[in-house]
Chains A and B, each alone.
Chain A
Amino acid sequence: MSLGKLVLKNIKMNLKNYGMYLFSIVFSVFTIYTFFALGNSDDFLGNLANNAYFESLFQSFAWVILFVLFFYLKYINKQFVKSRKKEIALYSLFGVSNTKIGAMLFIENLMIGLFGLGIGLVFGIIFFKLIGTLFVNILGGSAFITTVPFAVNWKGLQITSVVFLIYFIIIGLFSLVTVNRSKLIDLFQAENVGEKQVKGSWFLLILSIVLIASGYYIACNDNPVVLFAAVLLILLLVIVGTYLFFTSGIQVILNILRKSKKYILKGDRLLVISTFKHRIRSNAFMISAITVLSAIAITLVACAYGIYYSSNENAKMDSFYDISYQMVEGTEDYHQEIKNILEKNNRSILSDQVQNFAQLDVCNYQGSENYCTQNTMYLITDEDYNDLVAHSLIQRDPLHVEENELYIWQSGAVITTNLPIESITLEDKSTYLAKPLGKDNPLPNVFRYNTSVLIADEATYQKIVANNKIRSVQKIEFINYEDSKNSETILSEVQAKNLSISMYYEYYLSAMIAFGTMLFIASFMALVFMIATASLLYFKILSTMEEDRDYYRLLDNIGTTEKKKRKIITKQILPVFLCPLMLAMLHATFAIKSASTVFGLWGLSLWKPSLMMFGIYTFIYLIFAYITIRSYQKRVLKGTN
């Protein structure tokens, strides 16, 4: 048996200890490879997608994840070295120099790292086809080639290998320095557990609750502008509140439980509460960070999911009809061309109408009564508008406009850049109050940007047209056809003919690509995130295992049965996972509510994606709690005879 053999044997025997460490590395490598590979696969998305967009998006996020992973891996490594204190102490005791122990750990680390890198890459390559197919399906499937080829992405392989290799070397050097600096006596002494009783403070408990509650209160505000301005404040309130709650507040609650003789002196409560109290205290910072970051991850995914699933509805609102175009000079043959393309694709036309819009000069007031902006706007009657809506892709109740009032519709760009228009004065000096049409009553984006449309009842319309100069009459043709959701060939033919028309399918596709990618990246990152935080808790709990052995040996001595000890362990560890989980879900509920206000997602029902995220999050945490409890039981109880 030589030193090298000893290292190998140690790795082999420690495999179950290494298990989670290895898993963390494998999962990290897998994620990064997948991201780089997706960013570099210009061959599978086909020509409908802008490949440069994907490349930069995936690569940027890959680097963001890599940045976070570095600290994650470094922290895990630290806990890992800590959990092997006894072994290191023995080596040192038998006269192995610290430098040599450090070198041993370094080599061991590198071997584990390379092993994990290898497995991670193999998984990445094997599952790329699956993940790629999933991704393409999220983007709207049929527009792209449906079978993703099984291929090794060499560039992704290279970047991933090089970056992780550098990571392992840097992290290895860190642990080498740590070991080199450590004193033998520190290695032998138990972690300064300092079971100092923390009373916690009522003041801080109440303060933490007040902070969190006021954060929630602001988050429930209905005004997006106010809410947007307050985002940082809300974050600050909730983060500080969470931190205070876990460092001090929760201790007060636990102390009350502890003092209540009726409660605490029943069953194993005393043991459970006291250990839990200590665990929360020594990990307060980490637990609050995990809580806040998990809440953010859940919110991101729930919103991304909501937006993604509203892609179709949004595309319908934007396009209004399957095909529409302004009949201007040069579009005379559009009608025939469109008809030909649809015929070629065996799609029958469902509706086809031409609508006139009268264009006139107006003077509109925004916020100030003294200053008006000269503008041109379009005018139609409420009857025409209702008829247009009735045949469109969306379903809305008919709009009824009273005599002498105007409804105004402004395209997206106008709303965001300017204040809402309050009143309108026409050429003939007649002034009308402009009622906003609201987001739910759309008009087609065929007008593109900076356009406003006025809607009047028949009598008012006639009065306006009679008394004001009409600059021009804008004609727009609106067409609906069968099965417009599957129009990839139609779209490419339209693009080939260079027809300048607005197509529902194009909106739909670009929304699916943009929001699908967003959803994919957000979900992947959230998954990385949840697994990372859950495994941090795992490592943190197992790192004190050596010291905890005495505790269970003591329970042994006072005649606690194995079954009872297992139960106690479960009850002690489970809340460490459940506490951040519950609070994170509560935070996320309010965050999702405020995000939907800020980003104007009112119409979307976010409760479904939110519940789904809560479910996945809970599932992952419970699995990790189970693994943690199992390995803790196995290892702690095994050492107690």
Chain B
Amino acid sequence: MLRLENVKKTYVSKIGLNKYEALKGISFEVEDGEFVSIMGPSGSGKTTLLNMLGTIDTVSSGAIYIDNVDLTKMKKKELSDYRREKIGFIFQDFNLLNTLTLKENILLPIVLGESKHKIDFKKLQEVTKKLGISHILNKYPYEVSGGERQRTACARAIITNPKIILADEPTGNLDSKSSQELLSMLELLNKEYNITILMVTHDIFAASYSDRVLFIRDGKLYNELIKEGPRKEFFDAIIDFEATLGGGVE
């Protein structure tokens, strides 16, 4: 279970004259196995929030609990372990290394050694087959399409059996067909492996795949929508809600 308590993030300019509050106190909970989307206008603090969950960035105040352990109190080494063992990342721009084949990219988190996971080729086979990239594993990232790259990043995120996947605009660079395929994959991972997914997105279509949508505005939690019926209905509900927000939301 994931719990945020009054999380704040303030950026102070180098000389200390300008302060900017990116997050003004955010609290929410995410159950194990939940698929949650975070939406909001540009600059509302979505990515900052995700970065703090992924321990890429630090909080200014507040606490983040994962299974009742406070992330913000962890030491460097513990943070490394947490990132490696519990979290998988998917980025908008894929973040694959061009010098490694897709297979090597997927195995990278394990190869980097400090993981307790052994290289599990059966799992690699299984995952890449599900993601539809098993036939191109020996190619390099620049030789395959954007959708295939993002699915590779997906495979890399789950190869270590993480509890949580953090996805930052995963469909941002994909065409609609690839987006749909990727979202189905995420849904599948969520349902079949019971992985908790937190996804920052602008895309209403992408958000409609999740169980719950959190809206953030001006660094604060603004509202949430919970999926109760089929995806199509949820999609319409999100559109309606955004319409009530008026301008400001892209």
Query: Measuring CB to CB, which residues of chain A are less than 8 angstroms from any residue of chain B?
Result: 1-3, 6, 9-10, 13-14, 86-87, 89-98, 100, 184-185, 188, 638-639, 641
- State whether A184 touches B55 (Cβ < 8 A): yes
Quote the shortest CB–CB distance from A13 to chain B (angstroms). Answer: 3
Contact of B112 among A94, A639, A641 (CB under 8 A): A94
The answer to whether B99 and A13 have CB atoms under 8 Å apart is: yes
Instruction: Tell me the minimal C-beta distance from B167 to chain A in angstroms.
Output: 14
- Are B111 and A95 in touch, CB under 8 angstroms? no
B residues 118-169 near A (Cβ < 8 Å) are: 119, 142, 145-146
CB < 8 Å A-B pair total: 74
- CB neighbours (8 Å) of B84 from chain A are 94-95
In the bound complex, how far is the Cα of B111 from the Cα of A96, in angstroms? Answer: 10
A-contact bits for B102-118, CB 8 A (1 contact / 0 none): 00100111011111000
Chain B contacts for A188, CB-based, 8 A: 51, 56
Contact A95-B114, Cβ < 8 Å, known A86-B95, A639-B142? yes
**In the complex the two chains form, is B56's CB within 8 Å of A184's CB?**
yes
CA distance A2 to B142 in the complex (A): 24
Q: Give the segment of B75-83, B227-235, B238-246 that binds chain A.
A: B75-83
CA distance A13 to B140 in the complex (A): 11
A91 to B: closest C-beta gap in Å: 6
Tell whether, in the assembled complex, residue B56 and residue A185 are in contact, meaning their CB atoms are under 8 Å apart. yes
A638 to B140, CA, bound (A): 12
Q: Are B111 and A1 in contact (CB under 8 A)?
A: yes
Question: Which of A10, A94, A184 is most buried by chain B, counting CB atoms within 10 A of its CB?
Answer: A94
User: Considering residues B58, B76, B111, which has the most beta carbons from chain A within 10 angstroms of its beta carbon?
Assistant: B111
**B 44-92 contacts with A by CB, 8 A:** 51, 54-58, 76-77, 80-81, 83-85, 89
Besides the known contacts A95-B112, A97-B80, 14 further A-B residue pairs in the complex with CB atoms under 8 A apart: A1-B104, A1-B119, A9-B100, A10-B99, A13-B100, A86-B95, A89-B95, A90-B97, A93-B83, A93-B89, A94-B84, A95-B109, A98-B76, A100-B114
Instruction: Verify if B176 is at the interface (C-beta below 8 Å from A).
Output: no
A10 neighbours in B (Cβ, 8 Å): 99-100
Residues A90 and B99 in contact in the complex (CB < 8 Å), given A95-B114, A95-B115: no
- B114 and A96 form a contact (CB under 8 A): yes
Q: Are A638 and B107 in contact (CB under 8 A)?
A: no
A3 B113 Cβ-Cβ under 8 A: yes
In the complex, residue of chain A having the shortest beta-carbon distance to the beta carbon of B86? A95
From residue B96, how far is it (CB to closest CB) to chain A in Å? 9
B98: interface (CB < 8 Å)? yes
Q: How far is the CA of A638 from the CA of B144 in the complex (A)?
A: 12
Whether B80 contacts A9 by the Cβ 8 Å rule is: no
| Inter-chain contact A94/B95, CB cutoff 8 Å | no
* A10–B100 alpha-carbon span in the complex (Å): 8
Given the known A-B contacts A13-B100, A641-B146, are A3 and B112 also in contact in the complex, defined by CB atoms under 8 Å? yes
Chain A residues with CB under 8 A of B54: 93
How far, in angstroms, from A2 to B146 measured CA to CA in the complex?
Answer: 28
Q: A641 to B148: give the CA distance in the assembly, Å.
A: 13
| Bound CA–CA A261/B57 (angstroms) | 44
Which residue on B lies nearest to A639, using beta carbons? B142
> In the bound complex, do residue B56 and residue A97 qualify as a contact, i.e. CB atoms below 8 Å apart?
no
Q: How far is the CB of B59 from chain A (nearest CB, A)?
A: 12
Chain B residues in the interface with A (C-beta under 8 A):
51, 54-58, 76-77, 80-81, 83-85, 89, 95, 97-100, 104, 107-109, 111-115, 119, 142, 145-146
- What B residues does A638 contact at CB under 8 A? 98, 142
Chain A hits for B95, CB < 8 A:
86, 89-90
* A97–B78 alpha-carbon span in the complex (Å): 10
Identify which of B51, B99, B146 contacts A14 (C-beta below 8 A).
B99
A3 touches B111 (CB 8 A): yes
| Contact A97 B97, CB 8 Å, known A1-B104, A641-B146 | no
Q: Which residues of A contact B58 (CB under 8 A)?
A: 185
Query: Chain A nearest CB: distance from B146 CB in Å?
Result: 7
* B114 neighbours in A (Cβ, 8 Å): 95-97, 100
Q: Which residue of A lies closest to B140 (CB)?
A: A13
Q: What 10 A-B pairs come out closest when comparing CB atoms? A: A95-B84, A13-B99, A94-B109, A185-B57, A95-B80, A3-B113, A96-B112, A184-B56, A95-B83, A94-B112
- Can you list 22 A-B contacts with CB-CB less than 8 angstroms, sorted by A residue number? A1-B104, A6-B112, A9-B100, A10-B100, A13-B100, A86-B95, A90-B108, A94-B109, A94-B112, A94-B115, A95-B85, A96-B112, A96-B113, A98-B76, A184-B56, A185-B56, A185-B57, A188-B56, A638-B98, A639-B98, A639-B142, A641-B145
Contacts of A185 in B (CB 8 A): 51, 56-58
A10, A86, A95: residue with the most chain B Cβ atoms closer than 10 Å: A95
> Bound complex: CA of A91 vs CA of B80, how far in Å?
10
List of B residues within 8 angstroms of A96 by Cβ: 80, 112-114
- Closest Cβ of chain B to A451, distance in Å, is 70
* CB–CB B113/A2 < 8 A: yes
Q: Which A residues touch B115, using CB under 8 A?
A: 94-95
CB distance from B58 to the nearest CB of A (A): 8
Give Cα A94 to B111, complex, Å.
10
Given contacts A6-B111, A638-B142, contact A95 B81 (CB under 8 A): yes
In the complex, residue of chain A having the shortest beta-carbon distance to the beta carbon of B142: A638
* B157 to A: closest C-beta gap in Å: 10
Decide: B77 and A97 in contact? CB cutoff 8 A.
Answer: yes
- B168 (CB) vs chain A CBs: closest residue: A188
In whole angstroms, how far apart are the Cα atoms of A13 and B146 in the complex? 22
> A residues within 8 A CB of B142?
638-639
A188 to B55, CA, bound (A): 12
Whole-angstrom CA separation of A14 from B99 in the bound complex? 7
Q: Are A87 and B80 in contact (CB under 8 A)?
A: no
Residues of B within 8 A of A95 (CB): 80-81, 83-85, 109, 112, 114-115
Smallest distance from the beta carbon of B76 to chain A beta carbons, Å?
Answer: 7
Enumerate chain B residues within 8 angstroms of A86, measured Cβ to Cβ. 95, 97
The smallest C-beta distance from A498 to any residue of chain B, in angstroms, reads 72
Residues of B within 8 A of A98 (CB): 76
Give the chain A neighbours of B97 by CB distance below 8 A: 86-87, 90
| Residues of the B chain whose Cβ atoms lie less than 8 Å from the Cβ of A100 | 114
Q: CA A325 – CA B99 in complex, angstroms?
A: 76
Q: Nearest B residue to A97 by beta-carbon distance?
A: B80
* Shortest beta-carbon distance from B17 to chain A in Å: 17
Q: Are A91 and B76 in contact (CB under 8 A)?
A: no
B residues near A641, Cβ cutoff 8 Å: 145-146
User: Which A residues are in CB contact (< 8 Å) with B51?
Assistant: 185, 188
- Neighbouring A residues of B77 by C-beta, 8 Å: 97
**Closest Cβ–Cβ distance, residue B9 to chain A (whole Å):** 11
Q: Are A94 and B108 closer than 8 Å at their CB atoms?
A: yes
Which has the most chain A C-beta neighbours within 10 Å: B55, B58, B76, B109? B109
A87 CA to B104 CA, complexed, in Å: 14
* Shortest beta-carbon distance from A194 to chain B in Å: 12
Q: Which partner residue on chain A sits nearest B81 by CB separation?
A: A95
Give the CA-CA distance A87 to B115 in the complex, in Å: 18
Query: What is the minimal beta-carbon distance from B27 to any residue of chain A, in angstroms?
Result: 22
Query: In the bound complex, how far is the Cα of B87 from the Cα of A95, in angstroms?
Result: 10
- Expressed in whole angstroms, the Cα–Cα distance for A639 and B99 within the complex equals 12
- CB-CB nearest in chain A for B141: A639
Residues of A within 8 A of B80 (CB): 92, 95-97
CB-defined contacts of B112 to chain A, threshold 8 Å: 3, 6, 91, 94-96
Nearest Cβ on chain B to A89's Cβ, whole angstroms: 8
Question: Nearest-CB distance from A545 to chain B (Å)?
Answer: 12
The answer on a CB contact under 8 Å between A1 and B55 is: no
Instruction: Tell me the smallest distance from the CB of A14 to a CB of chain B, in Å.
Output: 6
Residues of B near A91 (CB, < 8 A) are 112
Residue of A nearest to B160 (CB): A94
Given contacts A94-B84, A184-B55, A639-B142, contact A9 B99 (CB under 8 A): yes
Q: What is the distance, in angstroms, from B170's C-beta to the closest C-beta of chain A?
A: 15
Smallest distance from the beta carbon of B209 to chain A beta carbons, Å? Answer: 24
Q: Which of A3, A10, A14, A184 counts the most B-chain CB atoms under 10 A from its CB? A: A184
Complex Cα–Cα for A100 and B99 (A): 20
Give the Cβ gap from A363 to chain B, nearest Cβ, in Å: 74
Residue of A nearest to B89 (CB): A93
Q: Which residues of B contact A14 (CB under 8 A)?
A: 99
